[in-house]
Structure 1
Amino acid sequence: MAKPVILAVDDDTEVLRAVERDLRRQYGREYRVLSADRGDSALETVRKLRLRGDPVALFLVDQRMPGMSGVEFLEQAKALYDEARRVLLTAYADTQAAIHAINEVRLDHYLLKPWEPPEERLYPVLTDLLEEWWAHHPPTFEGIRVLGNRWSPRAHALRDFLGSNQVPYQWLDVEASEEGRLLLAQAGGAAVEKLPLVLFPDGTRLMGPSTLEVAERIGLKVRATKPFYDLVIIGGGPAGLAAAVYGASEGLSTVMVERSAPGGQAGTSSRIENYLGFPAGLSGSDLARRAVAQAARFGVEILTPQEVKGVRVEDPYRIVALADGTELSCHALLLAMGVQWKKLETPGIQSFTGAGVYYGSSRTEALSCKDEEVYIIGGANSAGQAALYFAQFARQVTLVVRGDSLERGMSHYLVEQVHSLANVTVLLDTEVTRVEGNAHLERLTLATKGQPERTVPASTLFIMIGAVPRTEWLDDLVARDARGYILTGPDLMPGGERPKGWKPERAPFLLETSVPGIFAAGDVRHASIKRVASGVGEGSIAISFIHQYLSEV
């Protein structure tokens, strides 16, 4: 926590210097002593402190000041720091004004000038008030603060980005939070469409920023330091992270490019309970955090958020074009983009995406769902894990499953846990046929087999109905199956013939694509096992084949 502030205000320069001297001598170690010679400049200081989130413990203010009296200053300062202790400095003739101020601004104390000796007439009073402030003052949040509207897709995307990258932040809904409205007003106010507003600990701010702007501001690496690497990895899920760790630890200069946040879809999982070596389970974000730290230890460069727009081959190099117009060249390229959630084709749903409708287990919305009813569409492990997680916050969680059984797509341990929770309901043979609302989701229409359709109130819907690969940007560079998954190794040679245009005399390695030197691992690969552990395994195995390929170059 930053040092709490003691602010002294007096228009008499000599008195102000004396007050500062006495305050610093007694409280300088534990508090930051600031001063102002006018009420209006003092208020400007207070506003800046509020925007930075700095705590103010005590105001020590002279009553007689031109332009703004001490009581008038305290009245305005109280709106910004209601918990700060308030002390008025008065001459004997102003004692009546001080007494009135006890009721007007909840004045804690008034002191008569002069206050010498301070050991008897100043410090005992202030020390008692400061101890009282500490007893009732909650720790101040010192990180990034995001102000916005709960139903804003832009605010949701920014919060999701910060959370996925494990950047601590405080969310303040300007419609539900008095502090949020106050901070917004102090920042000059803004129309809802311009939000979110991001406040940084140093007092700077960004209005309606992109995730890239925020990433650069908080120090995430978005640009590579070199034009050439031994290995470029596209995708930062379990497969990409494992390849990065194994590749860099074995001496390959490695850069990993991730469009959103390291961890991929697995990183959003609230709990992975069957991952080997973690008997109590671990969250996807914890797994991602450990892997990122491990990769950084071996010197991997991680670019995020950064998106790849295309790849071309200029032997012996593979060249990756990034969204910012820069390029990376390498000898070996690993495609580990994973998959993205399949969109629900329900009328009207697109207009509510990010405003009550979310794809995947958006943990950033958990606290907003407190005491509400949450709907989750899906019948596989991701949906089960999400149901368990949101059940900790929501009053009721309803799992909407198209199939006739949870056991068909969900692990046995998850099925048992879902059925054991009193506030989780499972609707089998059920689909969402319509979504409705105004500025955000308000109603769902459910259709259960053999029953008439019914409409239910709903403000939050999470969708986990399967996934599709992120490979459309590859065009015809590498061979893919009918669904877009990348073919590798033996799957490229169903009849024993090598891929079209294949030049090496050898057959493609197990995880090599139809282009020599370009490999694929994890969920994006055809016929891969869609599990975190298998993704990690493929990422690490790919490095062995990449070494064999590099020995040929």
Structure 2
Amino acid sequence: MPARPVLLTVDDDRAVSRAVARDLRRHYGDRYRIVRAESGRDALAVLRELTARGEAAALLLADHRMPGMTGVEFLEQAMDLAPTAKRVLLTAYADTDAAIRAINDVDLDHYLLKPWDPPEELLYPVLDELLEAWSRTARAPFEGITLLGHQWSAETQQLKEFLARNQVPYRHLQGEDAAGIRTAADLADDATLPALLFPEGTVLRRPTLQQVAQQVGLATTAGSPFYDVVVVGGGPAGLGAAVYAASEGLRTLLVERTATGGQAGQSSRIENYLGFPLGVSGSELAQRARDQAVRFGVELLTAAEVVQIAPKGDGRALLFADGSQVAAHAVVLATGVSWRLLPADGAADLTGRGVYYGAVAHEAADCAGEEVFVVGAANSAGQAALHFARFASKVVVLCRGTDIRQSMSEYLVARIEADPLIEVRTCTQVRAVEGADHLERLVLADSRTGATEVVPASRLFVFIGASPPTEWLGEAFLRDDRGFLRTGPALLDEAGRPPRDWPLTRAPYHLECSVPGVFVAGDVRAESVKRVASAVGEGAMAVTLVHRYLEAN
């Protein structure tokens, strides 16, 4: 039997220490092992022993005022030993300022005031939420999928991203670590890689994402031929639309090509989203929204791609890449945007082999001790730089403009300027990326003088704006000159008239595109606000307009 995860409590006051342990044991003793220490140094020794035995620490609960080592100092040193454990500071009201400072200093997850009676109201609800979040990403004794493939393979990178974003536990082995498994699974030939080995013995050689999705139990084909509404895209806008549609009684299908969350799901930390004062990772926010959608009865398809939307009676038919199709009364397009490709020589050849678009959590861990380059100056680039700085030896942000404040929120700018591991180079562009089988060098150019410089590099993460994936839609879907879908008032001419081919006597609703019954929400819509909160709001608004459309038809 694998060992139960540990909840470690640290307090120099024996009476308080026993009281905390008693309350924790009463509520969590059947699922977790409760361990207590009476000093920060003793607690660090306990953590070292747990780590050496391969046991997981799920929660660290430390009193702030302790002699020799404060609770904040303990939590800071514990980050190296138990980086995934949730960190909670137990403090008196007079020390709340220190607790608030610790939110940034040690990534504190929460602070609790003494006394915490009654624990049913003041202790357990907070810890329940933290432990639920920890359990979704915890990698206790490994029982998941084994990925075999070269680190600098674009196919390996694609599989790693798919598994990570869909919360599927896996480990990546290569070189000597993978030799015995490759022999046993008859994967000695490199042409069979990347490959996935499942616990029950199944081996998938160079699988498609759809094959992987089917093997791990994700639905890839629709369970019904008809729905009230089909939502295309599983980012914040699509998830928002799906949740509101299903909660209001509409039979809803959500279709996503890779994983729910969209670009926001790749964000290491979103700190300005309403209701999350300590911030929330994009993957956690996406998982919460996905769980909520499932609870309301939304049917989710993963690794499924819609390639055409066509009229079908009073509704719309959606054709999938595999040849199947479904019909619906209404459609919500929430396909989001794709990262704009880096216009540098060699970038296309090295994509997935040192050049990456966006960033997910598993990449940060792989960057330990390395120098990382981030291209971009918007919030996504800032969030990534701060996240990579927790692992890399140095992070260099390459900004084309003269000041990152032109496009980045001030709270991110302040933290970047205060981080000694992050260097910001303004007026700098990537002219070329070079390397044999993976990225080895960058050619940087000063946009003011034109002077170039060659620097060694192994990882480059690109965040340089977005382009809408709307090329698959027909000519009936009107777009602006950048490809974003026009809706509502943006479809009307100067006299307030709808497009010439508009078949109805009424004007298009606010989020309705040039095809009646097809609504657009989030980043893919022309003139939308590119923020997570506004995307969720547009998803909810689209459902209101779907109801209005259905009632009128």
- Per the normalisation by structure 1, the TM-score is 0.74
Please state if 1:166 is matched with 2:171. Answer: no
* Residue 194 of structure 2, aligned match among 173, 193, 196: 196
Task: Please point out which of 430, 439, 449 is paired with 1:432.
Answer: 430
Report if aligned partners of 1:149, 1:192 keep a CA contact under 8 Å in 2.
Answer: no
Q: Name 2:538's counterpart in structure 1.
A: 538
Secondary structure of residue in 1 paired with 2:310: strand
Look up the equivalent residue of 2:362 and give its one-letter code. Answer: T
Q: SS of the counterpart of 1:479?
A: coil
The CA deviation at 1:423 is 0.8
Q: 1:532, 1:190 → 2: CA distance? A: 45
CA contact (8 A) 1:512 1:518 kept: yes
Instruction: Return the alpha-carbon distance in structure 2 between the equivalents of residues 261 and 159 of structure 1.
Output: 12
The whole-number CA distance in structure 2 between the counterparts of 1:362 and 1:435 is 22
SS class of match (1:264): coil
CA RMSD, Structure 1 to Structure 2 (Å): 1.6
SS of 2:523's partner is helix
1:432-511 correspondence runs (5 A): 432-448=430-446, 449-450=448-449, 452-495=451-494, 496-511=496-511
Matches within 5 A, 1:89-168: 140-168=141-169
- Work out whether 1:274 is the aligned partner of 2:272: yes
Distance in 1 of aligned mates of 2:336 and 2:423: 31
2:232 matched to 1:234? Answer: yes
Runs of 5+ consecutive residues of structure 1 not aligned to the other structure = 4-54, 56-137
1:528 aligns with 2:521: no
Q: Distance in 1 between matches of 2:362 and 2:210?
A: 19
SS where residue 311 of structure 2 aligns?
A: strand
Contact kept, 8 Å, 2:146 with 2:171, in 1: the verdict is: yes
Deviations for 1:154-174, whole angstroms, at most 9, x for unmatched residues?
0000010011111111111x1
Give yes or no for contact 1:480–1:487 (8 Å, CA) kept in 2. yes
Mapped to 1, the partners of 2:470 and 2:313 lie a distance apart of: 22
Match of 2:282 in 1: 284
TM-score (normalised: structure 2): 0.74
Task: Map Cα deviations across residues 503-543 of structure 1 (whole Å, 9 max, x no partner).
Answer: 22221111111111111010000100000000000000111
User: Which residue number corresponds to residue 212 of structure 2?
Assistant: 214
1:343-354 aligned at under 5 Å gives the runs 343-354=341-352
Structure 1 residue 400 displacement after superposition:
0.4
Q: Distance between the aligned counterparts of 1:238 and 1:417, measured in 2?
A: 26
Closer, same or farther: CA 407–552 of 1 in aligned 2, 3 Å = same
The sequence identity of aligned pairs, in percent, is 51
Q: Which moved more, 1:443-452 or 1:261-270?
A: 443-452
Partner of 1:124: none
Counterparts of 1:521 and 1:139, CA distance in 2: 39
Please say if 1:403 is aligned against 2:401.
yes
SS at match of 1:513: coil
State the 1:210 CA deviation.
1.3
Distance in 2 of aligned mates of 1:234 and 1:400: 34
Deviation track 1:71-125 (CA, whole Å, cap 9, x = no partner) reads xxxxxxxxxxxxxxxxxxxxxxxxxxxxxxxxxxxxxxxxxxxxxxxxxxxxxxx
Q: Is the 8 A contact 2:375 2:399 kept in 1?
A: yes
Q: 2:245: which partner in 1? A: 247
Give CA-to-partner distance per residue, 1:442-496, whole Å, 9 cap, x none: 1111112337311111110011100000100002121111111111111111320
| 2: CA distance, partners of 1:349 / 1:363 | 22
SS at 2:290 equivalent: helix
Structure 1 residue aligned with 2:333: 335
Q: State the alpha-carbon separation in 2 of the partners of residues 309 and 479 from structure 1.
A: 17
C-alpha deviations, 1:407-458, integer Å up to 9, x for none? 0010000001111111111000001111111111111111123373111111
Kept in 1: contact 2:239–2:289 (CA 8 A): yes
Deviations 1:313-350 (A, max 9, x none): 13301010001100110110111100000001111111
Q: 1:374-385 residue pairs with structure 2 within 5 A?
A: 374-385=372-383
Q: Residues of 1 paired with 2:411 and 2:548: CA distance?
A: 40
CA distance in 2, matches of 1:438, 1:329: 48
Q: 1:524 aligns to what SS in structure 2?
A: coil
Amino acid at match of 2:244: Y
Taking the aligned partners of 2:207 and 2:537, their CA distance within structure 1 comes to: 38
Q: Secondary structure at the match of 1:455?
A: strand
Alignment equivalent of 1:305, drawn from 303, 307, 310? 303
**How far is 1:372 from its partner?**
0.6
Q: In terms of mean alpha carbon deviation, does 231-240 or 181-190 score higher?
A: 181-190
**Secondary structure at the residue paired with 1:522?**
coil
- SS in structure 1 of the partner of residue 440 of structure 2: strand
Query: Is 1:324 aligned with 2:325?
Result: no
Structure-2 separation of matches of 1:500 and 1:390: 51
CA contact (8 A) 2:336 2:523 kept: yes
Count of residue pairs brought into register by the alignment: 417
Distance (whole Å) between structure 1 residues aligned to residue 467 and residue 218 of structure 2: 28
Shift in Å at residue 187 of structure 1?
A: 1.9
Shift of 1:2: 6.7
Q: CA deviation at 1:291?
A: 0.4
SS of residue in 2 equivalent to 1:402: coil
Letter in 2 for 1:452: A
Contact 1:376/1:397 (<8 A) preserved: yes
Residues 340 and 469 in structure 1, CA contact (< 8 A), matched pair in contact too: yes
CA 1:274–1:139 in structure 2 vs 1: closer, same or farther (change >3 Å)? Answer: closer
Question: Partner of 2:548: helix, strand, or coil?
Answer: helix
Q: In the alignment, what sits opposite 1:86?
A: none
Contact 1:376 1:398 in 2 (8 A): yes
Secondary structure of 1:338's partner?
A: coil
Task: Give unpaired runs (5+ residues) of structure 2.
Answer: 4-53, 55-138
Superposed displacement of residue 181, structure 1: 2.3
Q: Is the 8 A contact 2:230 2:331 kept in 1?
A: yes
Q: Residue 312 of structure 2 contacts residue 327 of structure 2 at CA under 8 Å; is this kept in 1?
A: no
Q: What letter matches 1:150 in structure 2? A: Q
8 Å CA contact 1:361–1:382 kept in 2: the answer is no
Name the SS for the 2:159 alignment partner: helix
